[in-house]
Amino acid sequence: MFKKDYIMRMIEQFTNVVAKIMGLKVDDKFEEIHQVLNEALYDFTGLSESALERLSYKDLINLVSGFEEINSVKCFILAELLKEKADVFASLGDTGRSFNLYLKSFNINAEVMLANKNACLEPNYDTIDQTIDRIKQFPLPYETQKLRLRYYEQMMKYDKAEDLLFELLNQGVDKEAVLADGTAFYERLMILKPEALEKGNLPLDEVLEGLGIFKGFPLDRKPKSVNLV
């Protein structure tokens, strides 16, 4: 009961912050939004703005979780607040700082969601998709690309996962890791029912074709160009 009340209080506090931000957005009061977010993030994490920007997403997960078992509720709220702060920087034209926080927001959401499939609170999937749209235009660390791959798979967006794999293969990003992860991805799909694959827009014949490509792709070969939508 105590844990449930604690979670509800956190969610209520977060909801109040978001409501205040939405009201300020109507009048484009970005500096005031910035201040509200800084105060909320400090109350929530005890960290300054510079520390939030400097620390890695894994450090932030550990800090808000108390260096114990991942606290999915606190992590999902943190990811939401970081995304809102990134929106402010984007509105002010500060691309570098906005990208940094969008990246942290996505990484935290995806990492925690994938590690805690039975969490009592789900992430905001709209936020995850929005942050992907913001960051995918920039070069991303392979760690983030792998989280994208796993996220698409978890959400049964198998066609998007395959598109990402071929995109990475064409970019020559850590080719050995891409081939290994791609092969493992197709092998996991092979055990699914055909109707599940159809639902994910990647029918069995395409899975077999993809698996053949990734298993037979020599490391010194250049991939063919693919048209990605």
Question: Do both 163 and 53 map to the same domain?
Answer: no
The residue range of the domain holding 39 is 1-138
Domain shared by 155 and 85, yes or no: no
Higher pLDDT, 208 or 223: 208
| 76 and 181 part of one domain | no
Looking at the structure, do residues 115 and 90 belong to the same domain, yes or no?
Answer: yes
Greatest C-alpha distance within the chain: 59
> What does the block give as tokens for 161?
């996962």
| Count of domains for the chain | 2
**Model confidence at 3: pLDDT above 80:** no
DSSP string, 106-169: HHHHHHHHHH-TT-SS---HHHHHHHHHHHTTS---HHHHHHHHHHHHHTT-HHHHHHHHHHHH
| pLDDT of amino acid 226 | 45
Does 91 share its domain with 54? yes
- Distant-in-sequence, close-in-space partners of 109: CB < 8 Å, separation ≥ 6: 75, 76, 79, 123, 124, 127, 128, 131
Same domain, 112 and 5: yes
Same domain membership, residue 90 and residue 201: no
DSSP state of 192: S
What is the rounded average pLDDT of the residues 88-116? 95
Which residue, 75, 105, 138, sits at the end of a domain?
138
Q: What is the pLDDT of residue 165?
A: 96
Q: Is residue 32 helix, strand or coil?
A: helix
Q: Where residue 118 falls among pLDDT bands split at 50, 70, 90?
A: low
The pLDDT of residue 227: 45
- Would you state the pLDDT for residue 189? 97
Select from 138, 171, 206 the last residue of a domain. 138
pLDDT at residue 120, rounded to an integer: 66
Q: What is the pTM of this model?
A: 0.89
The confidence score (pLDDT) of residue 13 equals 85
For the ranges 102-111, 173-182, 201-210, the lowest mean pLDDT is seen at 173-182
With residues binned 3-state (H G I as helix, E B as strand, rest as coil), the percentages for the chain, rounded to 5, are 75, 0, 25
Average pLDDT value for residue range 75-82: 95
* Whether residue 9 is found in the same domain as residue 37: yes
Residues 148 and 134 in one domain: no
Say if residue 40 is in the same domain as residue 134: yes
Q: Are residues 148 and 132 in the same domain?
A: no
Domain boundary among 87, 122, 138: 138
Average confidence (pLDDT) over 70-79: 92
d(CA 90, CA 163): 27
Quick one: 11 and 119 in the same domain?
Answer: yes
In percent, how much of the chain has pLDDT > 70? 91
Residue 142 has pLDDT above 90, yes or no: yes
pLDDT digit string, tens, across residues 185-199: 999 999 999 999 999
